[in-house]
Amino acid sequence: MLDRSGLLTEQRLADSMRLDQMSSRQIVDLMNQQDLQAVLAVQRIAEEIAQGVDLIVDRFRKGGRLIYVGAGSSGRLGVLDASECPPTFRSDPNQVIGVIAGGPQAMFQAQEGAEDRFEDGIDVMRRLKVSSCDVVCGIAAGGTTPFVHGALAQAKFSEAATIFITCVERFEQEPIYDLTLRALTGPEVLTGSTRLKAGTATKLILNQLTTASMVRLGKCYENLMVDLKASNQKLKDRAVRVIQMICGTDRETSTILLEQANGHVKPAVVMWKHGCSLTEAHRLLEQSQGSLRQALEKETGE
C-alpha cells in the first residue's frame, strides 16, 4: 500500500485545527477564505492550461475526442463537464467523453476500490479505441489514482495526447505525460477531502479547457452562444435573444428565423444578414469552418 502521507492534499491545514470547535459562520468564513486559494492556484498555471487548449483544438480539428478519466469527485467533475458540452455548444456527444472508475453508477454511489485497478483504466481506453487523434485527460487531485494512470498509460501506448490534472507536487515515480496541469491548492479545511479546494480548482480548469477550445472552434460570436442546442424552453428563449442581439430584430422575427433555420442560431443569423436561403447559409458556414464571424464577412454567391 502506497504511503500518501507526504502528498500536499493529505497535509493538515493549520487554520482549521480547531474545526470541530468552530461555529457555523466561522466554518463558512474559513472555507470561503480557503477557496480563494483554488482560484490563485489555477491562475498560476494559466500558460499550461492554454497549452492544453491548443492541444485539444488541434485534435478536435483532426476529428478526435477529448476523454476525461477520473475516480470519485474527480471523475464526476469530468463527466459533468463532458455532459454540458452538447447543450452549450451543440457538440457531438462523442466529442467530449467523461469516464469514471466504477462505471456510470459511480456518479451517484461510491464504488469503493474501483479507482485502485490500473488494468481497468487500460481496458476502458481499449474499449473506446483511443487513437492518435484523441486527447486523454486524466484527473487525480491526489495524484496517485491507479485507474487514471492505467488509462493514461494506454493512451500513451495508442499515441494519443495526454494531459494530467493534479493538485500535488510531483511524487516519486510519477509518470511523464505530454502536459501536466498542477494546481497546488494546499491542504484542505477537512484534511484529505479533495472535493473541496482541489475539486474547485479542477472544475475551473475543466471549464477553461472546454470553453476556450469550443470558442477557438467558432462556437461563439462575440461572447454569445451561437451553437447552443435549443433543447428546452430556456435554451430556445436564449437562442431567440441571441438572434435579436446580433441581428437587431424583434422577438417575433427572431423566433421565425430560428424556426426557419431548424433551431440553429448561426444559419438563422446568416440568412438575415445576407438575405439568403438556408441552403446558402449552410454553404457559407461550411466554407468558414463553422465561424459565424467569417461567414458574415463573406460575399454571397462567392
Angle of the 24-44 helix axis to the 197-216 helix axis, nearest 10: 40
2 belongs to a structural domain: no
Q: Are strands 96-100 and 135-139 parallel, antiparallel or unpaired?
A: unpaired
Q: 124-180: per-residue pLDDT in tens?
A: 999 999 999 999 999 999 999 999 999 999 999 999 999 999 999 998 788 999 999
Structure confidence at residue 300 (pLDDT) = 65
User: Where residue 61 sits, what CATH number does that domain have?
Assistant: 3.40.50.10490
Structure confidence at residue 278 (pLDDT) = 95
What contacts 136, CB < 8 A, 6 or more positions away?
Answer: 67, 69, 125, 130, 151, 152, 155, 160, 161, 162, 163
163 and 234: one domain? no
Nearest to 296 by CA among 279, 271, 277: 271
Q: 14-41: per-residue pLDDT in tens?
A: 999 999 999 999 999 999 999 999 999 9
Structure confidence at residue 2 (pLDDT) = 66
pLDDT average, residue stretch 10-14: 91
pLDDT(3) > 90: no
pLDDT(46) > 60: yes
pLDDT band at 95 (very low <50, low <70, confident <90, very high): very high
Domain count, the chain: 2
Q: Which domain holds residue 139?
A: 8-216
Using the 3D structure, point to which of 163, 181, 216 is the last residue of a domain: 216
115 is catalytic: yes
280 is catalytic: no
40 and 145: one domain? yes
CA distance 142 to 194: 7
Q: Which one from 10, 47, 48, 115 is the annotated catalytic residue?
A: 115
pLDDT band at 5 (very low <50, low <70, confident <90, very high): low
pLDDT average, residue stretch 212-226: 94
CA distance 167 to 127: 28
Q: Which one from 10, 47, 48, 84 is the annotated catalytic residue?
A: 84
